[in-house]
């Protein structure tokens, strides 16, 4: 639907479920529907309120349809509208509506005035808040500067800590190396200790054997001492006999000739060895 002066007023199409209307026409005053069923009519309806003289003119309504035989067809309809001067009753209705609108506008104005005062108070409060916010921002900026300084200091501390950690790591590596060396030394010490323990056991066994041998030797020495005492006593008596024989031999030597000396020596030696043999046998 369109007019000569204002152009298109409202449209509706098959793929469009909502009617499109101009801004001058309220959507509440435009209705329309398209249907494919034969028993249900398709239509586009526009209603005006409080017409103006400029709304006078020709109104065209066009529709593209497809007949029952499948042929496309365009339908057109023209309506001429002429807006007359309003009657007294129309003016009364309009004045009543205007008074109602004025009262509504007055209430809206009062509400707006109150809202403006509230907004002014709120703006004043907001201004104070803005001043406080600026002060807070200054404080935050100072805090930010201090925080940045602290962060720089903390970063340096972190670097120092990382350096200390690296040093500690190197120390741990050296300590682990020393521990491994100590562990190897401890293993060798345990091996040596086991060997020493075996040696101590062997020495103890040898001491026990030596102690046994010593006891046997001491017993043998006691027996030998007794035998030696016997031999000494026997030889002491033999020496006395030898001395006596020597005395006799000297007398015989001086009394007899030198040729008899060999016989005396033979007898002396024979007597001495016989006595020694008898003492050893006993």
Give the per-residue SS3 of 86-142. CCHHHHHHHHHHHHHHHHHHHHHHHHHHHHHHHHHHHHHHHHHHHHHHHHHHHHHHH
Distance CA 136, CA 187 (A): 71
Burial state string for 80-93 with b = 16 or more CB within 10 A and e = fewer than 16: eeeeeeeeeeeeee
Alpha-carbon dihedral of residues 216, 219, 224, 226, nearest 10 degrees? -170
Q: Give per-residue pLDDT as tens, 119-178.
A: 888 888 888 888 888 888 888 888 889 998 988 998 899 999 999 999 999 999 999 888
Q: Give per-residue pLDDT as tens, 8-54.
A: 888 888 766 566 666 555 555 778 887 777 667 788 888 877 677 77
Is residue 244 scored above 70 in pLDDT? no
- Whole-structure pTM over 0.85, yes or no? no
Strands 2-3 and 57-66 turn out to be antiparallel
Is residue 257 scored above 50 in pLDDT? no
Q: What average pLDDT is seen over the chain?
A: 76
More confident residue, 93 or 90: 93
Up-side HSE of residue 12: CA atoms within 13 Å toward CB?
A: 18
More confident residue, 52 or 243: 52
Apex CA 179: angle with CA 178 and CA 182, to 5°? Answer: 85
Neighbour-count burial of 46, counting CB atoms closer than 10 A to its CB (0-12 exposed, 13-18 middle, 19+ buried): middle
**Distance, C-alpha 157 to centroid of its chain:** 22
pLDDT at 260: 47
pLDDT at 242: 53
Confidence of residue 272 (pLDDT cuts 50, 70, 90): low
Is residue 180 scored above 70 in pLDDT? yes
More confident residue, 32 or 179: 179
Is residue 265 scored above 80 in pLDDT? no
pLDDT at 36: 73
Segment among 32-36, 228-232, 260-264 with least mean pLDDT: 260-264
pLDDT at 46: 82
Mean pLDDT within 203-210: 80
Give every CB contact of residue 117 below 8 A, 6+ residues apart in sequence: none
pLDDT > 70: what percent of the chain? 72
Q: Are 75 and 62 in contact (CB under 8 A)?
A: yes
Mean pLDDT within 257-278: 53
Is residue 279 scored above 60 in pLDDT? no
């Amino acid at each position: 639907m369109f007019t000569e002066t204002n152009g298109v007023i409202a449209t509706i199409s098959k793929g469009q479920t909502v009617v499109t209307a101009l801004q001058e026409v309220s959507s509440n005053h435009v209705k329309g529907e398209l249907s494919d069923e034969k028993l249900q009519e398709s239509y586009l309806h526009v209603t005006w309120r409080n017409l103006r003289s400029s709304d006078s003119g020709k109104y065209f309504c066009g529709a593209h349809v497809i007949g029952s035989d499948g042929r496309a067809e365009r339908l057109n309809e023209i309506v001429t509208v002429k807006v007359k001067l309003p009657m007294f009753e129309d003016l009364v209705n309009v004045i009543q509506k205007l008074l109602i609108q004025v009262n509504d506008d007055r209430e809206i104005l009062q509400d707006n005035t109150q809202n403006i005062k509230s907004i002014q108070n709120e703006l004043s409060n907001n201004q104070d808040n803005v001043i406080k916010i600026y002060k807070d921002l200054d404080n935050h900026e100072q805090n930010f500067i201090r925080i940045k300084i602290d962060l720089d200091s903390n970063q340096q501390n972190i670097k120092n800590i990382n350096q200390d950690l690296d040093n500690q790591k190197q120390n741990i590596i050296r300590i682990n190396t020393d521990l491994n060396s100590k562990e190897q030394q401890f293993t060798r010490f345990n091996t040596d200790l086991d060997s020493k323990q075996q040696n101590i056991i062997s020495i103890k066994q040898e001491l026990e054997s030596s102690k046994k041998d010593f006891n046997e030797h001491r017993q043998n020495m006691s027996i030998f001492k007794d035998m030696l005492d016997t031999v000494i006593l026997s030889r002491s008596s033999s020496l006395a006999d030898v001395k006596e024989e020597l005395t006799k031999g000297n007398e015989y030597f001086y009394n007899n000739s030198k040729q008899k000396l060999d016989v005396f020596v033979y007898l002396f030696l024979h007597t001495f060895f016989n006595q020694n043999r008898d003492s050893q046998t006993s």
